[in-house]
Amino acid sequence: MTDLMHIAPSQTQVHRTRLSEDQAAGHLSEDQAAGHLSEDQLDDCLIGDLAAAPAAHLAACPLCRQRVAEAGRPLASFGAVSLAWAERVSATSPVPSIAAARTAWERRLSWSMALATCAVAMGIITAGYGFAGLGFAGLGGAAAGPGLAQSASSASVAGPSTEQVSNDNRLLRTIDLELAASESPAALGLVSSQATTRVRVSGAAGRYPLRDLGQDSIRD
């Protein structure tokens, strides 16, 4: 079809007849029917992918050359104007210095590294305090320094054993009984022995009531 320009006139007339028949059947566009480049071929030409046969037609057809030039004009205008704009902007921009030759990616990386280092340092400090509070009390506070020894002693107060509580209760009960006996009227020689017995009992129960020295009272 595109070789029509290079074919003898009699053959051209035959081809034109066929083309008009095809066109009548709706198979071809007007350009194709006339043997000129189609819109797709025009795009191919602008893209730089025109086949040999249309290229040969283009070389011989002033109409198609003009169409290609018209189609390429806005693109060329855009290229020229945008380059002029970029040259103007570039003329006022500073040249990047090699000393500051760190890309945005590297800057992001350095920030990330700094944040990660801070996070690790915080983690180490937190873990150090926790470890000192839990583990070093049993291993001996003196070796761990004054701060850690203090933590160790406070840890032992926080958790007394049952045996220790019962010993303390026994001791307190003994002291209470001795105090009650030394302050009674009988011990001071003021009442008889029977009354002394009554007063001792009431005094022991009334003035110095024995506390229930269980684990709860110790904890309070």
Partner 1 sequence: MTQLEPVVRTGSELDDIESLVRTYRPRLLRFVTFSIGDADLAESITQDCFLKAYNSRANFRGDCSVNTWLTSIALNLIRDQQRLQKFRFWRQARATAIDITDAASFLPSNESSPESRVLVKEKAGQVQAALEHLSPNQRTVFLMRFAEEMDLAEIAAVTRMPINTVKTHLHRALKSVRAQVGSMPGNLAADHHSIAAEAGHADDSERRSSR
Binding site for partner 1 (CB under 8 A): 9, 31, 34, 36, 40, 43, 46-49, 62-63, 66-67, 70-71, 73-75, 77-90, 93, 95-96, 98, 101-105
Least distance in Å: CB of 70 to partner 1? 5
- Centre a 10 Å sphere on the Cβ of residue 54 and count the other Cβ atoms it contains: 21
Q: Which residue, 46 or 190, is less far from partner 1 as judged by CB?
A: 46
Distance in Å, CB of 132 to partner 1, minimum: 42
Whose Cβ is closer to partner 1: residue 60's or residue 190's?
60
Task: Give the nearer residue to partner 1 in terms of CB position, either 97 or 182.
Answer: 97
φ/ψ of 26, rounded to 5, equals 85, 15
Q: How far is the CB of 143 from partner 1 (least distance, A)?
A: 51
Select 4 or 165, whichever has its Cβ closest to partner 1: 4
Q: C-alpha distances in angstroms, 59 versus 31, 64, 74, 112, 187?
A: 16, 9, 22, 61, 141
Helix (H) or strand (E) holding 52: helix 52-60
Q: How far is the CB of 79 from partner 1 (least distance, A)?
A: 5
Amino acid at 96: P
Minimal distance in Å, beta carbon 54 to partner 1?
Answer: 15
CB of 91 to partner 1, least distance (A): 9
Q: Which is nearer to partner 1, 112 or 192 (CB)?
A: 112
Q: What whole-number distance in Å separates Cα of residue 54 and Cα of residue 39?
A: 12
Write the DSSP string, 123-191: HHHHHHHHHHHHTHHHH-HHHH-HHHHHHHHHHHHHS--HHHHHHHHHHHHHHHHHHHHHTSHHHHT-S
Please tell me the distance from the alpha carbon of residue 220 to that of residue 216, in angstroms, as a whole number: 6
Question: Based on CB atoms, which residue is closest to partner 1, 75 or 195?
Answer: 75
Contact between residue 53 and residue 3 where contact means Cβ atoms under 8 Å apart: yes
